[in-house]
Amino acid sequence: RVLRGGELPEESELARISESSARRADEGVPLEAVVGAYHFGAEECAAQVLATAGPDDLADVLLVQRRLLGYLRLVSCAVAAGYVQERQAALGDEQVARQSLLSRLLEGGDPRAAADRAGIRLPPSYLVLGITMGPHPDELRPGVNHSVAARRKLRRLRNELQRQTPGVPLSVLSDDGGLALIPYEGPAADFAAADRERLGRLVEQLGLMCGAELLVAAAAAAPEGVANAARMVGEVRRIAEASGRGPGLYLLEDVLLEYQLSRPSPARDGLAALLGPLAGRPELLDTLRTFLACGLDRRRAAARLQIHPNTVDYRLRRATELTGLDAARGADLLTLHAALAAHDAVRRGEPDTG
């Protein structure tokens, strides 16, 4: 019709094309196949015209080409609009169902009904990840739209998490981190060293893909235990951050001392008080914390703090003078670790979790 009369499709016809495309989206037909069908039809029309055209028909051939291009411009837009709108609606419903399942898991209780509504098979266990995400370099660069850079970073993290995860991961993430649940096809008690290595590599890959440093605390839990695991992972993450640990993966076993000392008790308050003389000297406290986190390596500590190694030595001596505790003495080393853990817990105002 377009070739014969030159009249492009009207709004009503374009609406029918969009509706047809939406049905194909609902059926799972790929978008490229739907758009390609209209282009295939246009190619067939052009082939029939060209097969009978002669040298004197150049003007008509050009007219055919112009009308076909006009037709494809309108139809392609209508097909894409109908398809995308349907997929967005479906994805919106799917996302709502998944977030409902995630909320149910984090609340505790039986999540099976929510999983059925989301069309998701509950795995035997989940790996519960508490993620702290640093900034992408573009977020710190002058002249760059920082919010756009943050959204791109987050999108890359989500895409890579989906790509690397068997099954359906669940997450609630913002540009500085959040929580993610990764299906684990085994009992939580079976999580072992080999699983930790794989999870550590995943954390490294996620950091590379999103272009930011990730500090991730993790625990394995059955679906009904996800709520408790999420609370514990949150504490492990806060402890790892407060104790000056760098990016990477941390389990409870990595912060056992700090975790135990974060529980409210008279002993915790007494340990925290040992660092009271440093309360007005944050540079001394930070240097001591970094020195311990770097395994008593003054040069590594200096590099992390971006100061001269001699400055590290001076600050450590000053901290020893004020507290009477020397990190170089074996008897004081454990006390300092414990005092820092207690100090951080008191500063955060940890609630009594029993």
Q: What pLDDT shows up at residue 89? A: 72
Residue 173, sorted as left (phi over 0), alpha (psi -120 to 50) or beta, turns out to be beta
pLDDT of residue 209: 93
CATH topology of domain 123-253: Alpha-Beta Plaits (3.30.70)
The answer to whether the 123-253 and 262-348 domains have the same CATH topology is: no
What are the structural domain ranges in the chain? 2-103, 123-253, 262-348
pLDDT at 351: 45
* Residue 10: burial class (beta carbons within 10 Å; 0-12, 13-18, 19+): exposed
pLDDT of residue 236: 92
pLDDT value of residue 161: 92
- Provide the pLDDT for residue 202: 94
> pLDDT in tens for each of the 354 residues of the chain?
888 888 888 888 899 999 999 888 888 888 899 999 999 988 998 898 888 888 888 888 888 888 889 989 999 999 999 888 887 776 667 778 888 899 989 988 789 898 898 888 999 999 999 999 999 999 988 988 988 999 999 999 999 999 998 888 999 988 899 999 999 999 999 998 889 999 999 999 999 999 999 999 999 999 999 999 999 999 899 888 877 788 999 999 888 877 877 777 777 788 888 888 888 888 998 899 888 888 888 899 899 889 999 999 999 999 999 989 888 887 788 888 888 888 877 776 654 443
CB 26 within 8 A of CB 90: yes
- The pLDDT value given to residue 92: 67
In angstroms, what CA-CA distances link 226 with 106, 181, 192, 291? 6, 9, 18, 35
For residues 221 and 111, the answer to whether their CB atoms sit within 8 Å is no
Q: DSSP secondary-structure letter at 187?
A: -
Residue 47 class from Cβ within 10 Å (0-12 exposed, 13-18 middle, 19+ buried)? exposed
127 DSSP 8-state letter: E
Provide the 8-state DSSP code for 141.
Answer: S
Q: In 315-345, which positions are buried (b, 16+ CB within 10 angstroms) versus exposed (e)?
A: bbebbbebbebbbeeeebeeebbbbbbbbbb
Model confidence, pTM = 0.64
Backbone Cα Rg of the chain: 30
Closest CA to 3 of 61, 79, 56: 61
pLDDT at 200: 94
Please tell me the predicted confidence (pLDDT) of residue 180. Answer: 94
- The CATH number given to 262-348 is 1.10.10.2840
- Order of strands across the sheet that contains 125-133: 170-174, 177-184, 125-133, 214-221, 248-250
